Amino acid sequence: MFTGIVEELGRVLNVEREETGARLTVGCSGVLQDAALGASIAVNGTCVTAVQLSSDCFSADLAPETLKRTNLGDLRLGAPVNLERPLRANSRLDGHFVLGHVDGTAEIVALDALGNDNWWLRIRVPEQLTRYIVSKGSLAVDGISLTVAEVEGDLVSFTVIPHTYEHTTLHAYRAGSRVNIEVDILAKHLEKLVSRS
């Protein structure tokens, strides 16, 4: 489980295609401080397992389902990626509960400057996921815990503060970029409970 508070920007060192998926290698340092073989690391909000570790990078195997459901298969050499270690039981929960189980991808419609280094982000989400997204709720966008400012049909908007813009992949994206999204797991559980009654 994660929080959606990005700890580090990593860089893609390699994406090696295989018959059944791919192997992703990411250059980084901070998230490796206490990592062990088999550790979970969120890459753009996708929980992956470190299958190789060194002092400045890790590799993870990407299953066909991961490549189909996320933007990890789109990554190119040198691309920045958001990284986060899993939440410890004795840690503060600064963002929201993020499982690293991506529900789908969304398209960036616009990222407009608001002034004072603040930004207005608009994304188009898959229609089947809109029912889980509410104004002032949380949505993980490429692993970043963001507060929803507006929902208009399949368009979801957020205000992005300077720190988030500078320290995440958001500064590298343009209109048309694909981002991973994970809706609030509590909304999905509530829907299932209510549908049973």
Which residues are catalytically annotated?
2, 40, 47, 49, 63, 101, 147
Tell which residue, 177, 187, 46, 47, has the closest CA to residue 121: 177
d(CA 69, CA 62): 11
Q: Answer yes or no: are the C-beta atoms of 145 and 138 closer than 8 Å.
A: yes
Residues 6+ apart with CB under 8 A from 191: 131, 132
First to last CA, the chain: 29
d(CA 82, CA 167): 9
Residues 6+ apart with CB under 8 A from 117: 162, 165, 166
